[in-house]
Structure formats: structure tokens, C-alpha cells
Homo-oligomer: A and B are copies of this chain.
Amino acid sequence: MILTVTLNTALDLTYGVPELVPHASHRVSDISERPGGKGLNVARVLSALGHETVVTGFAGGSTGAVLRELLADLPSRDAVPADSGPAADSSPVADAPAPVSLPAPAPITDALVTVAGNTRRTIAVVDRTTGDTTQLNEPGPLVSADEWSALLARYEELLTGADAVALCGSLPPGIHVGAYAELVRSARAAGVPVLLDTSGEPLRRGIAARPDLIKPNADELAQLTGSRDPLRATRDARRRGAHAVVASLGPDGMLAVTPDGVWQASPPAKVLGNPTGAGDSAVAGLLSGLVEGLGWPDRLRRAVALSTATVLSPTAGDFDRAAYEELLPRVGVEEHTTAA
């Protein structure tokens, strides 16, 4: 089982409007609602890859109740028949080698801790004329000291059955900035490989607790290290305490600085689409590869193929299965010969 932790879960709403005009009144033409927060997105992709996943973190109030109802529906909603094969005609990737098949989706178990406050909503307002998205994110519920203690107890318990754990996203109000560092230390004490995907001060503190892996993007790396040079910044991040750093460089793919070497992985071609959730898909790719005992090149291939297939999906945060299967063998991975 893979455990994902989402301290600031969200009910993600997407509002389509014909055109977003500031200071005007808009009739929302289409609405979708899904359980969100980075760790929940990671769990959805892990499930699609056939990995049983348990999600913990906080949920509360009426929005938390809706989130949990939607979460209960997830594996079946996202399911595709295992024998459906790749839908080559609908894929934008042509001339692909023989595709790989995805297994049947695995269950996602809800182990969220109930809090008194309301789970936050996030609203993505999509301008249907330009395709651009304007994002509005509520801050999240105020979490009490007792609720944080309940989360720590639940987490310790879940670690005993976990093959790996991902700590994902922002902190809700009331949670101390060293919270992720605390969770990293517990995972390491329990001998469970731990991936940390957050930003700012919680990332800085979390790295010092020596997680197995972090997956910053270029902005997060620059904020952490002060450098926009990918290799320099990634190496710097590693020196701060992370055993391995996989930097996601958007359309340029990923750069991995690890104890075993340095690799650069690139998608076969640049693609256009919505990058929402691409980073979460990459986390799922890296973590599933680790649990399956794959080497770094194969983990990176999977992470790049999944995030590219997420950009290509018409639904934000979902990945295009056919595109993933066709992209996977076509991701390029190069080893850097200089030392990490």
C-alpha cells in the first residue's frame, strides 16, 4: 500500500464561463466538482497504475463531506476496462511503438481525519473563449492542536502498512511550519521511503529532515536555492538534505540528482494543454516506480510520460491513458557523466 498525506485537502470546483470579464456578472455554463489537494490527485493516478492507496490528512464540514463522498466514488469513476487497450485513434501521439497496458484500477481508502472546520474550496474559472484559467483558492480550515495530534496518531498507525509515503501540498492555518519535517522523521524512523512535495518554508524545513525524495518545480527550486540554473539548483537542494531530488522542468522534462547518478528525462515532443496536476502525476510515477523496484531511468520515464499525458488530458488533473501508454517507451533518458 502507498500512503499519501494531504493536510489541506480541497473540494476542487471548475467553472466554465463563456468569457471572464473582471467586474461583470457571469452565468457559469458548466460545473465540475472533484476531490482535490495534491495527495488526493497523486492517489487517483496511483490507483490508475494499479497501486492500492490510502489517503490521510484533514477533512471537515459540509465541503469535507462532499469531498469524501466523491472520494468514495473514485476508483470506479476513473476505471477503464483492463482489456480495452489503447485508443490509438484518439491519441495525439502518432507512430508510437507497441504500447503497454495499464492494469485494473486499485482501491483508494479514505483514512482522512475529521476536523471541525470546513474543508476549503478551490475554484478554477475557465474562460471557454481563450481556454485560460483563473484560480481562486480558499485558505483552508483552522486546525487545532488536538486535531494535529489525531493526525499524527493516524499517520504512525498507517505507516506500519505502507511501502512508501507521499507528503503533499500546502499547510492549512494552525499547522506549524515544521509539520512536514516531523512527518518525514516519523517515516524515516519507521523505515518507509518518503517523498515530500511542498514549497516555501515547509519545504525548506522538511528537506532538513532528510526525505528520500523531493520533486520541486523550477520556481520552487529557485525560491529554495536562489538559483535558476537547473543542475546547480537541483544539486544545491540535494545538499540541503534530500537523498534524491527530481526537478520538474515543465516541457523540458525532469532532472534527477540521486546517489546513483544524474539523469535528464525528456518527452518525445513538446505538447500543448493544461498543466494542472502534471506535477502530481509525476509524483505518482516516481513513487510507484520506487515501490516496484524500478531503476531511476524507468521511474523517470514513467513520471515524464504521466505528466505529459496529464497535460494532454481534456480534464484538468486527469491523464490521457492512451497517450500515456504510447508515450512511455518514447521518453528519452540521458545520464550525465559528471558526478552528482
Which A residues form the contact surface with B (CB < 8 A)? 15, 17, 20-29, 31, 62-63, 65-66, 123, 125, 127, 132-139
Contacts and interface: CB of A to CB of B under 8 A. Distances in A.
A132 B26 contact: no
Contacts of A15: 136, 138
Contacts of A123: 123, 136
A171 to B, nearest CB: 13
A22 B22 contact: yes
B65 A137 contact: no
Contact of A62 (B28, B65, B136): B65
Given A62-B65, A62-B66, A66-B62, A134 B28 contact: no
Chain copies in complex? 2
A29 B23 CA distance: 18
15 contacts: A15-B136, A15-B138, A17-B136, A22-B134, A23-B133, A23-B134, A28-B136, A28-B137, A28-B138, A29-B139, A31-B138, A62-B63, A62-B65, A123-B123, A125-B136
Given A62-B65, A62-B66, A66-B62, A132 B22 contact: yes
A74 to B, nearest CB: 18
Contact of A27 (B27, B62, B137): B137
A134 B24 contact: yes
Contacts of A127: 22-23
Nearest to A25: B135
Contact of A135 (B24, B29, B134): B24
Contacts of A25: 134-135, 137
A132 B127 CA distance: 20
A200 B295 CA distance: 65
A140 to B, nearest CB: 10
Nearest to A125: B136
A37 to B, nearest CB: 15
